[in-house]
Amino acid sequence: MKGYPSVIVFPIRSRSVCTMSNCRRAVLVVWIVSLLLTAPVLFTKGTNPLTFTDGEESVTVNYCVETDGGVGLIFAIYQAVILLLAPGLVMIICYTYVIRELWLSTRNMRVLTNTNTK
């Protein structure tokens, strides 16, 4: 991660990386990965129709239910880890890297611009 150019740390270099084609590719990749990560819900959930009648009219309501109890628990753990904890950890690591780089550059700038003359 040390050699990876950050948009915040190296804003001039980012102009060559942040192009429209790269943005389109990034959006497409995010959508594909999102669909793949949420696809297991198609296999772990189902609908349960429930009909209410009052004599003259009837209304049918479809409830979302687990299709298999064991798979639903595994899917809930999967969602918590992959879709919540992993992105949170990545954000913490990235923000730590950016803050560290900005702090080091600010400290170096203070040393370079120190105007103490004796």
Question: How many Å separate Cα 49 from the centre of its chain?
Answer: 34
**Boundaries of every domain in the chain:** 14-111
List, for residues 64-102, the tens digit of each pLDDT value. Answer: 888 876 777 888 888 888 888 999 999 999 889 888 888
pLDDT digit string, tens, across residues 36-62: 988 888 888 888 999 999 888 999 999
Which has more pLDDT, 52 or 9?
Answer: 52
Quote the pLDDT of residue 1: 46
Contact 101, 9 (CB under 8 A): yes
Q: Are 62 and 48 in contact (CB under 8 A)?
A: yes
